[in-house]
Chain A
Amino acid sequence: MADSATLAALRARIRELEGARVSVRRAPSGVPELDALLGGLPCPGVVELAGPVGVGRSRLAFALAVAAQREPEAEVAWVDPQRRLYPPAAALAGVALARLLLVRSPGEHLVWATEQVIRAGCFRLVVVADPGEVGVGAQRWARAAEAGETSVIVLSERPSRALPADVRVQVGPGGLAVSRDRSGSGGRVGPAPAPPAAVDPWQGPPWEPWPARAGWSAR
């Protein structure tokens, strides 16, 4: 059995390696709040947006997709194993559906299919929505991103240790917090971008009282 001093030295070495700064090329994401926080989107690279369903991760990904599609004919892939993406909302947010490939891969092929999509290099941005427990297979996504020169956004409910993310951003009701950044120290916080009115739940029309069923606000 190794003695405690050896273990302590190994732990220190691991911390050193994990904390090492790595030069990751960044490109403007098109979302000013994210650019201010990260200095741009790693390209190629993997960004994890972690937070519970319903706090705005997908809306942030919509904004990134819209920015990616500003280049003529640029395509975006959205890997959606849970089959929950609602394309009308994406369209309302400005995503060009004609240039959006929706990959509704079943779980048993998810890791492989996602790797193929990333590696193909034909997508400006690949969004992987709630892949669940993907295991070590997800480590191939980072190498595929390098090969395909692609930015990958992974939306997850909680940070995944198996995912070799260059940047990990915690998304919450209060804003964004960088919990890991391979080229920096992390720990930065910032506001979340305001969603476009079309996908902002509180920007709807003023509800008229329905006959015999008055509109109601519990605020």
Chain B
Amino acid sequence: MSPVWARWLGVHLPLFRLERCGYTAEDSVVLVEEQRGAWRLIALTPAAAEVGVRLGMSATEALAIEPELVVERLDPEGEAEDRRALVDTFRRLSDGVAEIGPADLVLEAGRVAALYGGEAGLIEAAARLAGALGHSVQLAIADDWRAALAVARCAEQPEVVPPGEGAAALARLPLGALEPPTALAEALAAVGVRRVGELAALEPAAVVGRFGAEAGRLHRVARGGVGDPRLGFAPEQEALARHVVLGEPTERFEPIRFVLPGVLRELAEGLRQRDRLATRLLVRLVLEAGPARLVRLRLGRPTRDPEAWLAALEGRLGEVQVRAPIAELVIEIEEDSAEVGLQPGLSSRAVGAEPVRELVGRLADTLGEAALVRPALLESWQPEAAWSARFALDPRPPPRPWEPPRPDPEAPHSAWERSLEPPRPALLAERPSPAAVRVGPAGGPVQVMQAGAWEPVRRAEGPERLSGGWWREEGGWERDYWVVELGSGVIGWLYSVPAEGGAPARWWWHGWWD
């Protein structure tokens, strides 16, 4: 199975804290907050930075440098309210939006990018949204949310970091782009690590051993991996995810199997409190190096039975091959549904048999929904359009289901007419293939090319003329079908398309009476 990539959109709003107060980048303004008995600068515009004021400076010092400087005091409640409104607005783009600090947001991009025509389209939509709100914005998409924000903070233009290329994109950036804690930044600077690429070059065990777990996370990001797999999105979503840091990174399934039951029970309890059932689980395997491995598990029937989840997960996780030891594990309910009152086992043949719905759900993760279908008949003369293949768990009824005509007592010929319904072949080619056919004087096939040789037609019946679609702009179709039995005993279904202007008709193989 190929890995599934998680993708994140980093939204950096460098002037959000001042723009919300009505200022622009051209205004010489600073935002101050009372710290340790003095009003200190916590945000400033580029115009203010140009005259030499710096973050952390006191307001008095700043005014000494630039007496015309506008000093705006922080309004914590008002700013928090505006930030909540900002998050709500960005939820129009993705349901997964997390606040990261006062000027940064992260959006889950992997599942929604297709809605905008791709990741570039999503970035454009985010830029338009920020512009409509009157905020300047810097944007980037990457495999990890920290990487996305780091690139966004340093990017003059929106940037899409291709999957798996996070390390290369980050290598050139200053370490501060990852916003390490001050003490960690100073400790790394003391050993000469000032760029992300320099951090990535260190050995993982040495980084964690010397600088701690947070340094280990930043190191994973620097190497193109995932630092912190799960963000605090909306509280209701957070309740449906569990994050486990394994005591010892492992490539074996047994340690994961050990922690699964407890985690699954907690998730089931979260669902029970909401009267919901899970239909799809997502397991993120955070590796020591490289991108996280995502394992999605569709459940055949909605359930919050942790034993059923465990049985299904054991099968899937036991097969997963990883390229680096698994350091952390995140399990989340990716999709849920209301209780529907299903009776498990009602349709199963025997006690102990796996219900069809569960089997289909399990197989769909690997085969795709198009590979597991319930056929339904449609009303169409065109043979290939006379049925539909719908995913076996699709709850919607098939479109325009075909029903046999009801006997009409007023129509004495209806029974006779029904008896004229022609038989149909057991096998039909998805695409008809050209056939080489020699026809007799009456227009019927007498020889058919098979494996490079002409084979005589022992018996033929036809033509059954089928046509339709003449009302459409692109024109209609018309075919004359023949049932032919070849000398080998094979019975096929051929059709000819009537040619115009006296040209010979073109013939096609369409089916077999297998």
| Chain A residues near B (Cβ < 8 Å) | 52-59, 62, 73-75, 83-93, 97-98, 100-106, 109, 112-113, 116-117, 120-124, 148-149, 155, 172-174, 197-205, 207, 210, 213-219
Residue of B whose beta carbon sits closest to that of A218? B460
In order of increasing CB-CB distance, the 7 nearest A-B pairs are A173-B489, A54-B490, A216-B444, A87-B375, A121-B353, A58-B426, A205-B420
The CA-CA distance from A124 to B349 in the complex, in Å, is: 7
14 pairs, CB–CB < 8 Å, chain A vs chain B: A54-B489, A84-B427, A86-B387, A90-B375, A103-B363, A117-B359, A121-B349, A122-B356, A123-B356, A197-B423, A201-B513, A216-B442, A216-B443, A218-B445
Residues of A within 8 A of B465 (CB): 210
Which residues in window 364-398 of B have CB below 8 A to A? Answer: 366-367, 370-377, 383, 386-387, 389, 392
Q: Are A53 and B514 in contact (CB under 8 A)?
A: yes
Asked if B480 is an interface residue, CB under 8 A from chain A, the answer is yes
Supposing A87-B377, A109-B366 touch, asked if A204 and B427 sit within 8 A by C-beta, the answer is: no
Supposing A106-B367, A121-B349, A205-B419 touch, asked if A218 and B459 sit within 8 A by C-beta, the answer is: yes
Asked if B453 is an interface residue, CB under 8 A from chain A, the answer is no
Q: Are A217 and B444 in contact (CB under 8 A)?
A: yes
Residues of A within 8 A of B354 (CB): 120-122
Q: Are A59 and B514 in contact (CB under 8 A)?
A: yes
Most buried by B among A54, A84, A199, A219: A54
Q: Are B483 and A204 in contact (CB under 8 A)?
A: yes
The CA-CA distance from A202 to B347 in the complex, in Å, is: 38
Q: Are B367 and A113 in contact (CB under 8 A)?
A: yes
Q: Are A85 and B422 in contact (CB under 8 A)?
A: no
Asked if B68 is an interface residue, CB under 8 A from chain A, the answer is no
Closest Cβ–Cβ distance, residue B490 to chain A (whole Å): 3
Residue of B whose beta carbon sits closest to that of A174? B489
Closest Cβ–Cβ distance, residue B349 to chain A (whole Å): 5
The CA-CA distance from A120 to B490 in the complex, in Å, is: 35
Q: Are B490 and A97 in contact (CB under 8 A)?
A: no
Please pick, from B347, B360, B424, the residue contacting A89 in the complex, using a CB distance under 8 A. Answer: B424
Please pick, from A54, A86, A148, A201, the residue contacting B461 in the complex, using a CB distance under 8 A. Answer: A201
Residue of B whose beta carbon sits closest to that of A71? B349
The CA-CA distance from A97 to B77 in the complex, in Å, is: 62
B: interface residue count bin:
35 or more
Residues of A within 8 A of B462 (CB): 207, 215-216
Q: Are B363 and A113 in contact (CB under 8 A)?
A: yes
Supposing A101-B374, A109-B366 touch, asked if A210 and B425 sit within 8 A by C-beta, the answer is: no
Closest Cβ–Cβ distance, residue B495 to chain A (whole Å): 13
Closest Cβ–Cβ distance, residue B354 to chain A (whole Å): 4
Supposing A204-B461, A213-B443, A216-B462 touch, asked if A97 and B375 sit within 8 A by C-beta, the answer is: yes
Q: Are A214 and B442 in contact (CB under 8 A)?
A: yes
Supposing A53-B427, A75-B356 touch, asked if A100 and B463 sit within 8 A by C-beta, the answer is: no
Most buried by B among A55, A59, A62, A198: A55
Per-position 1/0 for B103-135, Cβ under 8 A of A = 000000000000000000000000000000000
Asked if B511 is an interface residue, CB under 8 A from chain A, the answer is yes
The CA-CA distance from A155 to B427 in the complex, in Å, is: 13
The CA-CA distance from A56 to B514 in the complex, in Å, is: 4
Please pick, from B356, B430, B485, the residue contacting A84 in the complex, using a CB distance under 8 A. Answer: B430
Most buried by A among B350, B376, B427, B485: B427
The CA-CA distance from A54 to B428 in the complex, in Å, is: 11
Please pick, from B355, B374, B423, the residue contacting A97 in the complex, using a CB distance under 8 A. Answer: B374
The CA-CA distance from A56 to B347 in the complex, in Å, is: 31
Residue of B whose beta carbon sits closest to that of A75? B356
Asked if B512 is an interface residue, CB under 8 A from chain A, the answer is yes
Closest Cβ–Cβ distance, residue B332 to chain A (whole Å): 25
The CA-CA distance from A154 to B372 in the complex, in Å, is: 19
Most buried by B among A57, A88, A92, A204: A88
Closest Cβ–Cβ distance, residue A182 to chain B (whole Å): 24
Residues of A within 8 A of B375 (CB): 87, 90, 97, 100, 102
Q: Are B440 and A54 in contact (CB under 8 A)?
A: no
Please pick, from B423, B458, B490, the residue contacting A199 in the complex, using a CB distance under 8 A. Answer: B423
Asked if B192 is an interface residue, CB under 8 A from chain A, the answer is no
Residue of B whose beta carbon sits closest to that of A74? B349
Q: Are A218 and B440 in contact (CB under 8 A)?
A: yes
Closest Cβ–Cβ distance, residue B421 to chain A (whole Å): 8
The CA-CA distance from A210 to B443 in the complex, in Å, is: 11
Residues of B within 8 A of A197 (CB): 423
Q: Are A204 and B422 in contact (CB under 8 A)?
A: yes
13 A-B pairs besides A88-B386, A91-B377, A97-B377 with CB distance below 8 A are A53-B427, A58-B426, A84-B512, A85-B426, A88-B424, A102-B373, A104-B373, A109-B366, A109-B367, A122-B348, A207-B463, A213-B443, A214-B443
Q: Are B349 and A199 in contact (CB under 8 A)?
A: no
Asked if B142 is an interface residue, CB under 8 A from chain A, the answer is no
Q: Are B374 and A213 in contact (CB under 8 A)?
A: no
Q: Are A53 and B419 in contact (CB under 8 A)?
A: no
Supposing A88-B377, A106-B367, A218-B459 touch, asked if A54 and B514 sit within 8 A by C-beta, the answer is: yes
The CA-CA distance from A203 to B490 in the complex, in Å, is: 17
Asked if B44 is an interface residue, CB under 8 A from chain A, the answer is no
Closest Cβ–Cβ distance, residue A219 to chain B (whole Å): 5
Q: Are A210 and B422 in contact (CB under 8 A)?
A: no
Q: Are A204 and B374 in contact (CB under 8 A)?
A: no
Residue of B whose beta carbon sits closest to that of A172? B489
The CA-CA distance from A14 to B10 in the complex, in Å, is: 68
Closest Cβ–Cβ distance, residue B428 to chain A (whole Å): 4
Closest Cβ–Cβ distance, residue A27 to chain B (whole Å): 13
Asked if B492 is an interface residue, CB under 8 A from chain A, the answer is yes
Supposing A59-B514, A86-B426 touch, asked if A116 and B359 sit within 8 A by C-beta, the answer is: yes
Residue of B whose beta carbon sits closest to that of A150? B349
Please pick, from A84, A105, A198, the residue contacting B423 in the complex, using a CB distance under 8 A. Answer: A198
Closest Cβ–Cβ distance, residue A44 to chain B (whole Å): 11
Q: Are B349 and A58 in contact (CB under 8 A)?
A: no
Closest Cβ–Cβ distance, residue A120 to chain B (whole Å): 4
Closest Cβ–Cβ distance, residue A168 to chain B (whole Å): 18
Residues of A within 8 A of B360 (CB): 101
Residues of A within 8 A of B387 (CB): 86-88
